A and B are shown apart, each in its own frame.
Chain A
């Protein structure tokens, strides 16, 4: 492997890892904010306990998202300096705005929320967690603005003197049509992940015997599970709708990616209707199939919105691109096809896991129906099915997010910026393979060790459950004196 391959692997490893914590953070901050709002509305101690329980788990996950995010801010310059030089004029702006608008908001108000229990007025404290969530949403918007430029560059021209891309229309960059469908899709997928996190831990406590999770706590977890399940279903619906819209935009601006999602090699003309295979057994890249479950005309619908719309195949697009992009160092490539097995399978795994999570949520709502008699509260105890459901539902949207990004970014290859610059030409020319190997090894080992610690702490706090709240403990600063110990400090 040379410096280019290593830099790509490093970017993939660090980014996929970072992105485990991003959707959890975006989603969980919303769910915690909702729980805390319910607590102030109803004064039901159950909501306060859930707020603190998931607040702790949120903080554990936020920490890793934060520290691994620092790497992302610098990695473009470290490993992709020619890319940074080429698009910095456009790509740097949303990154800087993200830091200024989103990171300051998240970090300052998370500090206020974590350390503010009992030290700032209750309503201000509630506002702090909502502002943390707002920060995560803004962060998603601006980083997706930057990413959408890579999928579909708009609002720029190439300066003939410098050969670099320069901004001509910032509004066009901010409202890139890829961005307009990707942002709601990514945001809803993150909410789904946070909702699944809440659902999973609440289901698990409903499933546990009453020796371990007191019977008196079951109604609280039932409330939490219902909140998580409803949120998951609503967010899942939004993911489905926006994902469908994305398919049309993708066909328009990145037809190769759409064709690669199905492994469609030959054109399907208007009026025929291209099928979509749910699952294929055959060669990995879908060239020859032995056995497959296919839905007729579905690919045409996904790609064009019409059952019989024409879909361009991989081979034809390859020929077209060879003619269009030959002759320039920045855009020339032997092969304009992404790695088909990766795009084919990641696309299916993404959709499958998302659907499965929604099925679990719907099932949970069915089992938890009713008004909450004692029978309802203990219906899940010891059930093998629900024990498994609790364990796997946590990972379904989480991994669906990962595979979605793997599809999006691997499907963009060999382009770094679609139609303008291949990945090969963006790498830092002065950075040696030994340097990148060093950093990749260091990050991989460090991230691996931190994953063990993080998962250990998440399970530890998840297993302990929502801590009881003392009757006499007021969280209103007016009821507390300067001599009282803090509710929370490091």
Chain B
């Protein structure tokens, strides 16, 4: 296989890894206000449920996001023109994604640092907004990439901002958003216990139905214009995996349900890359101006070195990241959430609630 093809596949793998992993933590972040409600008399409080959800993604979300950084870095190294055209061309949507990711990371890390309802509300807004926006915009971006955008003879994007928000692209955004929400809800069902687990599963089934319908329409639209037999087959298999996941979810088998959405997102993303190949950014103005795996690529020397580096270190990364998931495999119940407050986080609210007795652990 040509080195350029190998790198096209590797970059596809990095985006697949990013979407199947960060997809669920986007979903969990977005569903915070939906699933994090009070259970009523005798049940868990909304705050406990929110902390169960956040605790479930806590050790992982940052590592998941690195898949994006690696995809960006790998594109820069292997296909500099792709990197340059895409990121300078999709300037404002990318700015929105960056701002969202910044807010989200800060929201997640700082939420528990001050014990005040107002503080937590503000951080929740950052987490929810920071999860919705990229979950939607990645779908918009990829629909545009696959369907082609105005690129001139100098490999520059000349379409402007609004051109990126066509109907198919907006539909793509809704598809990634609903799929990530379903994926995230199944993750909550898989990783928590108590009523939260059952509420999450029920919600996932409803979201999954909407997502399945939207995804089928969208994949049809995308592959009708650029599809190949293989991309159709992958898209079809992805749709089947989603249905299979929903059936498993109905039967209460959360592990298989999560696997279903995991595989569905992976196959749908794979189908996009297959439809794209051998272009990396087709031009809608003139096919001769499209960026391809050949004209956008780095030298054979760079690709060769990077192949060795990737072959050695990717298995290592997969091994320790999997081990981290294994280490934190236990379901999180309400009683796992500590009730004591760090002395530095304590506020008047803490004092009022605990009647002056701030725990000192």
A108 and B67 alpha carbons, distance in the complex (Å): 12
The answer to the question of B88 belonging to the interface, with a C-beta cut-off of 8 Å to chain A, is: yes
A159 and B310 alpha carbons, distance in the complex (Å): 25
Across the interface, do A487 and B338 meet the contact criterion of CB distance under 8 Å? yes
Binds A, one of B165-173, B242-250, B271-279, B323-331: B323-331
- Chain A neighbourhood of B51, CB < 8 A: 489-490
The answer to the question of A305 belonging to the interface, with a C-beta cut-off of 8 Å to chain B, is: no
- Chain A neighbourhood of B75, CB < 8 A: 92
Interchain pairs with CB closer than 8 A, number:
254
A473 and B340 alpha carbons, distance in the complex (Å): 13
Across the interface, do A431 and B301 meet the contact criterion of CB distance under 8 Å? no
Across the interface, do A88 and B84 meet the contact criterion of CB distance under 8 Å? yes
A144-185 Cβ-contact flags toward B at 8 Å (1 or 0): 000000000000000100000011101000000000000000
Interface of B is mostly: helix
- Chain A neighbourhood of B256, CB < 8 A: none
B292-309 Cβ-contact flags toward A at 8 Å (1 or 0): 000000110110011001
Across the interface, do B298 and A89 meet the contact criterion of CB distance under 8 Å? yes
Q: Which residue of B lies closest to A429 (CB)?
A: B156
The answer to the question of A327 belonging to the interface, with a C-beta cut-off of 8 Å to chain B, is: no
Question: Given A115-B59, A485-B339, A99–B69 Cβ distance below 8 Å?
Answer: yes
A112 and B78 alpha carbons, distance in the complex (Å): 31
Shortest beta-carbon distance from A470 to chain B in Å: 5
The answer to the question of A90 belonging to the interface, with a C-beta cut-off of 8 Å to chain B, is: yes
Across the interface, do A438 and B77 meet the contact criterion of CB distance under 8 Å? no
Which residue of B70, B77, B324 is within 8 Å of A112 (Cβ)?
A: B324
The answer to the question of A234 belonging to the interface, with a C-beta cut-off of 8 Å to chain B, is: no
Across the interface, do B55 and A81 meet the contact criterion of CB distance under 8 Å? no
Across the interface, do B327 and A114 meet the contact criterion of CB distance under 8 Å? no
Across the interface, do A84 and B63 meet the contact criterion of CB distance under 8 Å? no
Shortest beta-carbon distance from B102 to chain A in Å: 4
Shortest beta-carbon distance from A197 to chain B in Å: 16
Question: Given A63-B105, A81-B84, A108–B63 Cβ distance below 8 Å?
Answer: yes
Across the interface, do A167 and B335 meet the contact criterion of CB distance under 8 Å? no
- Chain A neighbourhood of B287, CB < 8 A: none
Binds B, one of A71-79, A370-378, A405-413: A71-79
Shortest beta-carbon distance from A100 to chain B in Å: 5
Across the interface, do B338 and A92 meet the contact criterion of CB distance under 8 Å? no
A474-486 Cβ-contact flags toward B at 8 Å (1 or 0): 0000000011111
Shortest beta-carbon distance from B78 to chain A in Å: 7
The answer to the question of B106 belonging to the interface, with a C-beta cut-off of 8 Å to chain A, is: yes
Across the interface, do A473 and B83 meet the contact criterion of CB distance under 8 Å? no
Binds B, one of A201-209, A245-253, A459-467: A459-467
- Chain A neighbourhood of B284, CB < 8 A: none
The answer to the question of A335 belonging to the interface, with a C-beta cut-off of 8 Å to chain B, is: no
- Chain B neighbourhood of A453, CB < 8 A: 106, 110
A122 and B66 alpha carbons, distance in the complex (Å): 26
Shortest beta-carbon distance from B24 to chain A in Å: 15
Across the interface, do B306 and A96 meet the contact criterion of CB distance under 8 Å? yes
Q: Which residue of A lies closest to B102 (CB)?
A: A67
The answer to the question of A218 belonging to the interface, with a C-beta cut-off of 8 Å to chain B, is: no
Which residue of A76, A90, A95, A115 is within 8 Å of B302 (Cβ)?
A: A90
Shortest beta-carbon distance from B96 to chain A in Å: 9
Across the interface, do B110 and A84 meet the contact criterion of CB distance under 8 Å? no
The answer to the question of A60 belonging to the interface, with a C-beta cut-off of 8 Å to chain B, is: yes
A335 and B167 alpha carbons, distance in the complex (Å): 50
Question: Given A104-B317, A486-B55, A431–B88 Cβ distance below 8 Å?
Answer: yes
- Chain A neighbourhood of B60, CB < 8 A: 111
The answer to the question of A116 belonging to the interface, with a C-beta cut-off of 8 Å to chain B, is: yes
Which residue of B83, B85, B105, B337 is within 8 Å of A66 (Cβ)?
A: B105
The answer to the question of A450 belonging to the interface, with a C-beta cut-off of 8 Å to chain B, is: yes
Instruction: Tell me the chain A residues, 84-125 only, with Cβ under 8 Å from chain B.
Output: 84-85, 87-93, 95-101, 103-105, 107-112, 114-116, 119-120
A429 and B158 alpha carbons, distance in the complex (Å): 11
A439 and B95 alpha carbons, distance in the complex (Å): 7
Across the interface, do A116 and B111 meet the contact criterion of CB distance under 8 Å? no
On A, residues with C-beta under 8 Å from B are 56, 59-60, 62-64, 66-71, 73-74, 76-79, 81-82, 84-85, 87-93, 95-101, 103-105, 107-112, 114-116, 119-120, 159, 166-168, 170, 428-431, 435, 438-439, 442, 446, 450, 453, 457, 460-461, 463-464, 467-470, 473, 482-490
Q: What are some 9 contacts across the A-B interface (CB < 8 A)?
A: A63-B106, A71-B98, A77-B88, A87-B80, A88-B81, A92-B75, A168-B301, A460-B114, A486-B338
- Having A70-B102, A93-B305, A468-B360, one finds 5 other A-B pairs with CB under 8 Å, namely A66-B62, A95-B73, A438-B95, A467-B342, A486-B55
